[in-house]
Amino acid sequence: MECKLLTARLMSPIGQITIASCTRGVHKVDLQEPKDFSPDGRHKVDFVDGATEEQVNKCEPLAKCVDWIKAYFKDASSVRGLDLPPLHITKYKEGSFTAAVLHNLATKVDVGETVSYGQLAAMTGNARASRAVGGAMRANQTPLLVPCHRVVNSNGSVGNFMSGRGNVLKAWLLEHEAREER
């Protein structure tokens, strides 16, 4: 059975975010590639277009995702107490290494923390699979919810977020989370 997707586009401090969800769960969160990234310090998230607020509210996973993202940008530490919206990602085979990496990242690496590719590989049961963890990060369809921005190189550098085009976003997200920790 094919899912009927609803899409909501939000404007956030890091630019436009597009969320696609069916009634079973969120399929995708797209961050727009930054062109002239310069956040203005506002942590507000506004609807741009896509599904109306009424339609969003009728699709529980989409509504939960919008609420989660709004909370994250208002105060990153506030999402600690929130359940992640349900995810419905059929791209990853259940029980696969990629699915396990993404699950561990979403459930074990908290706001304000970072983990290296090697550490995440070890958490997933194969300490020598750091390159495969990099592949899992590239395959992540739900950034922010599955916080691939928290995965850094072993030397602490940010690595390549959005194939290197989003490194400035990754640095901002990490700073946003660190700022909320103070």
CA 60 to chain centre: 18
Active site residues: 148
Q: Hey, what's the torsion of the CAs at 5, 9, 15, 17, to 10 degrees? A: -20
Helices (H), 40-81: 53-58, 60-74
What contacts 130, CB < 8 A, 6 or more positions away? Answer: 116, 117, 118, 120, 121
Residue of 38, 40, 34 lying closest to 16 (CA atoms): 34
65 near 27, Cβ under 8 Å? no
Q: CB count, 10 Å around CB of 28?
A: 18
